[in-house]
Structure 1
């Protein structure tokens, strides 16, 4: 094998290697984006939505007790409910929040503190003045509703990012196949081609 033929072989193999390496790095990046998106959908959206549901359930328990004027609830069970809500707030704080979500969550925490003050005032009044408590419960529920809707829209956004990454992977896979076929033909032409020798 002549030196010229060796160079042709090395260049052909090097071209294939560089192409495979480049597409592999691009595919790896896209796979990481899909993986991150799936993890985010689960950890920061589905789990967060479950936490919101649990907080809503506990707030509704307070609302029912207020409607029934259940003094036993406000003396005994309400402390447990407040501790459960606080534990859920701590869990929700550990999820990745968007800027808008952070604002609503802070408003929710402020409204919850005001709700607890209204509950204390209600207990002292002998469950006779429920208007302030009703207003605070509505405000807390409105914030929980907004947080729930954010989970849905962010989940949709993450799903869209995953679809784009998967489409990109498919496109690069097709391009890789076409380029590999082209390079295989090119390498064959380079190897088989023999220039005319001068007489």
Structure 2
């Protein structure tokens, strides 16, 4: 009688241990998958925010700067009030643009833009102090404005390139989230099937013992 009890309890403990082991292993896998899923969601959110804050907004700054420098082209020799308004607006936009997240190439283009703008302001001061003829200085101003337009074109190109790369990263992250969700669903089905199977085995075993 004692021998029968010993044999019957031992397999029962093994069944419970296996069930606990399967459930624990499955719980860990689901926990890891959820952690990866959450990390992908955070990265996607960060990328989406960066696309707006550092690309869409930056693109708007570049567009406004292009308009202001275009006005400068037709304001050579204008009164100090007009030039002061344009320069103040340009400095404000440059300060805002500098606060966005700049890539290495974008930072280099922006440094060139600032240098060319400083050269432009010096030429404008020289032009305002000169007496006629001022054709040479006016040509230098036009050349400097052409350099600035090229700087703005380079910065605009970076926005498109970086925006496209961020969109690709977001797409990959969303694809990974979808894959992890499918894996989690498969694990849940497997866990349910294994748990049900082991419960049925345990029930059948108890019936035979009885």
The separation in 2 between residues aligned to 1:164 and 1:126, in whole angstroms, is 62
The partner residue of 2:118 within 113, 117, 123 is 113
The separation in 1 between residues aligned to 2:106 and 2:112, in whole angstroms, is 10
Tell me the equivalent position of 1:57: 67
Query: For the Cα contact (< 8 Å) 2:37–2:177, is it kept in 1?
Result: yes
Q: 1:56 to 1:126 in 2, by over 3 A?
A: farther
For residue 114 of structure 2, give the secondary structure of its aligned residue in structure 1.
Answer: helix
Tell me the equivalent position of 1:185: 193
Note the C-alpha offset of 1:125. Answer: 2.5
The separation in 2 between residues aligned to 1:164 and 1:96, in whole angstroms, is 22
For residue 100 of structure 2, give the secondary structure of its aligned residue in structure 1.
Answer: coil
Query: After alignment, is 127-136 or 89-98 more displaced?
Result: 127-136
Aligned length in residues:
193
1:18 aligns with 2:28: yes
Give the alignment's TM-score, normalised by structure 2. Answer: 0.85
Structure showing greater Rg: 2
CA RMSD of aligned residues (A): 2.0
Tell me the equivalent position of 2:51: 41
Tell me the equivalent position of 1:78: 83
Tell me the equivalent position of 1:125: 130
The separation in 1 between residues aligned to 2:38 and 2:89, in whole angstroms, is 42
For residue 71 of structure 1, give the secondary structure of its aligned residue in structure 2.
Answer: coil
Tell me the equivalent position of 1:171: 179
The separation in 2 between residues aligned to 1:126 and 1:105, in whole angstroms, is 33
For residue 65 of structure 1, give the secondary structure of its aligned residue in structure 2.
Answer: coil
Note the C-alpha offset of 1:117. Answer: 0.8
The separation in 1 between residues aligned to 2:152 and 2:36, in whole angstroms, is 40
Could you report, residue by residue, the CA deviation over 1:4-26 in whole angstroms, capped at 9, with x for unpaired residues? Answer: 34323422332332122111101
Tell me the equivalent position of 1:90: 95
1:137 aligns with 2:145: yes
Q: 1:108 to 1:144 in 2, by over 3 A?
A: same
Tell me the equivalent position of 2:3: none
Query: For the Cα contact (< 8 Å) 1:51–1:88, is it kept in 2?
Result: yes
1:100 aligns with 2:105: yes
